[in-house]
Amino acid sequence: MLGLVSAGTSAFADEMLVIAHRGASGERPEHTLAAYELAIDQGADYIEPDLVVTKDLVLVARHENELSDTTDVAAREEFADRRRSKTIDGRLVSGWFAEDFTLAELRSLRAKERLPGMRPANARFDGLYSIPTFAEIVQLVRAKEAETGRTIGLYPELKHPTFLLQDEGIDSVDLLVRALREAELDDADDAVFVQSFEVGPLRRLDRLVDVPLVQLVKPDDGPADEPALRYDDMVSPSGLAEIATYADAIGTDLRLLFGPEGVPSGLVDDAREAGLAVHAWTLRKENAYLPPMLRRGTAENGTGDVLGMVTILKVQGIDGVFTDDPGLVVSALAQ
C-alpha cells in the first residue's frame, strides 16, 4: 500500500478531484479518444478507462468485455459466428466478447452511444470512433500534457480480472503492470490510480506497483473473487481497516454515502478513520441519476442541479468524484 504521507500522488486531495467517468461520456460515446480528449479540454483531473483484453493480449478500453452495447458488432455479418454465452461473475451473458477478437478485428468495429434514449445527441457520433488501446490513451494524455502544461491523471479499472484469468487464461493484472512499467507510470509520484471491484487483483497490484489502489464498493453485492464477502460488510469500520492493508481509497457508489432521506451514512468518517480517501461515483447531469431534491423539470434526461450535488459532496469532504460531465463539475467547483 502506498504510504499516504509520501511525496507525489496521494489518495487524499486538497481539492475534490474531477475524474472523467469513461471520458466526457455525457457528451460523446464513452471510452473513445474523443470522449477522453473532450474531458481533458474541460479540465478533468483524471480520465477513467475501463480495461478489457483482446485475444492477442492487448489492453483496450470498453465498459464491459461484452461489446454489443457500445459497438456495432451485432450488425457485422462477418462476426455473427462469434456470438457466445459466458458465465461472468456468476451471471450468464450472451453476446460478443473482446477476448474473442484480435486487436485488428476490434479495429474494424465502431463505437456507438450506450444510452441513446437518455443521450440522443451522443448518437450523432455513432460510427465515427474506433476502440482505443490503453497505450493510445497514454499517448493522448502525454500529448495533452505537452499542449496544456498541466498534469493529467489516468484512473484505469480492470474489468472482470478473475473471470479472465480463470476462464480465459488471460492475466490482465500482469498486462496492466507491464503496461504501466513500460510507460513509466508505476511509481508513487505518478498521476495514476488503479481500481477494481475485486480484492485479489488489488492485493497482487499492491505487491507489484506503487501507485494508489482503490477498492470499489456498491450496495447489495460483493467481490466476484470473494463470494463470502459483501460490500456492506467491507464498508464497516473493521472492513475498512482491512481494505486499508492493501488499498489507499474506496471508490463508492453514491448510494452508500446517504440514507433514504439524504442524511450522511457516516461512511466518509469511517473511511477517514481507517486512513482511506473516498472517491464517489457517478455524478451525472440527468434527472434520472440525481436525488429527487436535485431534479429540475419532469424530463428524465433533463439537466438537474449539478451544482447542488457538487456542494453536498464538498460538504461531506469527498476527495474525488467520478462524473460523466466533467465540464459541469469543474464549473460547479469554480463557483
| SS3 assignment, position 283 | strand
User: Which 8-state DSSP code applies to residue 6?
Assistant: S
* Contact present, 95 and 65 (Cβ < 8 Å): no
Could you give the residue ranges of the DSSP H alpha helices within 216-325?
Answer: 231-234, 237-243, 267-273, 306-316
Q: For strands 84-88 and 91-95, give the pairing.
A: antiparallel
At 121 the pLDDT is 97
Alpha-carbon distance 309 to 291, whole Å?
9
Q: What superfamily does domain 17-65+132-334 belong to in CATH?
A: Phosphatidylinositol (PI) phosphodiesterase (3.20.20.190)
Contact in structure between 120 and 11 (CB atoms under 8 Å): no
pLDDT of 282 reads 98
Q: Is the dihedral of CA 69, 70, 74, 80 positive or negative?
A: negative
Cell of 31: 471510452
Q: What percent of the chain has pLDDT over 70?
A: 96
Other Cβ atoms within 10 Å of 221 Cβ, number: 14
> Would you say residue 3 has pLDDT above 50?
no
A 10 A CB-CB count for 82 gives 15
Indicate which residues carry an active-site annotation: 21, 63
* 70-97 confidence digits (pLDDT tens): 999 999 999 999 999 999 999 999 999 9
Q: At what angle do helices 33-41 and 134-148 cross, to 10 degrees?
A: 30
> What is the pLDDT averaged over residues 30-52?
98
Amino acid, single-letter form, for residue 278? V
Q: Is the pLDDT of residue 4 over 50?
A: no
pLDDT of residue 284: 98
Arithmetic mean of pLDDT, 120-144: 98
Q: Are 154 and 194 in contact (CB under 8 A)?
A: no
**What is the rounded average pLDDT of the residues 266-284?**
98
pLDDT category of residue 9 using cuts at 50, 70 and 90: low
Task: Collect all residues with Cβ–Cβ distance below 8 Å to 79 and sequence separation of at least 6.
Answer: 73, 96, 101, 105
Q: What is the pLDDT of residue 10?
A: 65
